[in-house]
Structure 1
């Protein structure tokens, strides 16, 4: 896809350094730098940025960085360094915001169900904090296991990864180069960028709405992917329409 640009190079190096460092720091790195649910005592406002540089395992960082390498440099060459950085980080922030919003939509009804069952707030948060430490559920009489698991999972599951920002880059790439033929590994048939990236987006929408996993692990933050893609698409569509009419 051409030479790697300086901004993409810096982002790649930063992500790799964060990943290597987190392997040495272990749980402390996750506690401090992953994005926790705002109700969790581990939450810090800086995490809305630092979580973009954290990754769960080798495959997670590999696929994100591969996508950044393949599409990021081409996009940066088209829009410039400042616009690329704005798009990258605004997509990542939007991803975090949408994921947190939908986590609240899972947490609040479950929390209210426990209150309605007569469980005191202090008891609820004690059980949640214990769940963070022990990675286990504490069930309550009169409340379904499903409700407790929904509440606990929302509270204890941190968000990591550059996927939201990467989806913003992918969506923007599809706006700039909609008809560029792309290839999927093991499928020797070219697919236009707008169809390949658009299809990948729709798969994530399906998974977010239904909870069914088609691609990736079951704990994938699908709403984060959607948030990043939407902001990337809107931002690039606006730029292309109003400032970059030479792109046709």
Structure 2
């Protein structure tokens, strides 16, 4: 289950969202070990929970958000940021959105440190900060439609799904996977994702309350403020030519 786009247009240029995407792409190009060996700079910029708990390599609390462990890791994160970032930036303003992104990334880091404070496994990626964007999006646009690609073996289909279902299921999977990973081990920072998501939701709460809280949902029905984008939902059939 992989989101492709939402039906929620924004009417302002998302300068911060695009700047963050550009920064992540630039840092990846500059630091990724194209020769197969991670350099000293990459190792220094990653987040090491065990080092932070001893007051060392504290810069990794921020710099880890701009590192990625591979092309798929990077592109997946940037896709999520592109889908959900512009609408939340329009709702919160450029400065408010930037603060939420940074705060969610820091909260994600501390959540992972709390889960495994002695770990020396490096943590990298913008996932925690982007999870905060997803949490805020869920609160303001719960019924925005998100086109999701479902893949099952060789079968695939794109379906429009309400944001509350897409993001709610994603958050539940992070909690469940985090509990399982504590027992079985794993290489994904699930608690960072969960911590970032919860922080983004909490930081968006004032904006939601200013709009009327539950009354805002009642007026909007949880749908986006602007008319939804209309994308083709079916692949057109091409008739066979007779010879």
Higher strand proportion, which one? Answer: 2
**Structure 2 Cα separation of the partners of residues 223 and 24 of structure 1:** 27
1:37-56 mapped onto 2 (5 Å cutoff) = 37-39=49-51, 43-56=56-69
- Bigger Cα displacement from structure 2, 34-43 vs 204-213: 34-43
**Residue 208 of structure 2 corresponds to residue 244 of structure 1:** no
- Over the aligned positions, Cα root-mean-square deviation in angstroms equals 2.4
- Once the two structures are superposed, the pairs formed by residues 3-22 of structure 1 within 5 Å of their partners are 5-22=14-31
Q: Could you list the per-position Cα deviations for residues 128-165 of structure 1 after superposition, in whole angstroms to 9, with x for gaps in the alignment?
A: xxxxxxxxxxxxxxxxxxxxxxxxxx22x100000000
**C-alpha displacement at 1:42, in angstroms?**
10
Tell me the equivalent position of 2:99: 86
Shift of 1:86: 1.2
Question: Contact 2:104 / 2:129 at 8 angstroms: preserved in 1?
Answer: yes
Structure 2: how far apart are the matches of 1:5 and 1:247? 23
TM-score by length of 2: 0.74
State the 1:31 CA deviation.
1.7
Gap regions ≥5 residues in structure 2? 1-7, 150-155, 218-243
Q: Match of 1:202?
A: 172
Alignment of 1:56-135 (within 5 A): 56-104=69-117, 107=118
Structure showing the higher helix proportion among its residues: 1
Give the unaligned 5+ runs of structure 1.
Answer: 108-153
2: distance between equivalents of 1:86 and 1:189?
A: 33
Instruction: Give the Cα separation in 1 of the matches to 2:148 and 2:15.
Output: 26
- The aligned counterpart of 1:178 is 142
Q: What is the alpha-carbon distance in structure 2 between the residues aligned to residue 35 and residue 9 of structure 1?
A: 24
Runs of 4+ in structure 1 displaced over 6 angstroms? Answer: none
Structure 1 pair 35/240, CA: closer, same or farther in 2 (3 Å)?
A: same
Write out per-residue CA displacement over residues 166-198 of structure 1, whole angstroms, 9 at most, x where no aligned residue: 100011101110011212114433221111100
Q: Which residue of 2 aligns with 1:111?
A: none
CA contact (8 A) 1:206 1:212 kept: no
Between 17-26 and 192-201, the greater mean CA deviation after superposition: 17-26
Shift of 1:229: 0.4
Determine if contact 1:201/1:229 at 8 Å carries over to the other structure: yes
Equivalent position of 2:40 in the other structure? 28
Aligned partners of 2:49 and 2:112 also within 8 Å: no
User: In structure 2, what is the equivalent of residue 227 of structure 1?
Assistant: 195
Using the alignment, how far apart are the partners of 1:73 and 1:237 within structure 2? 18
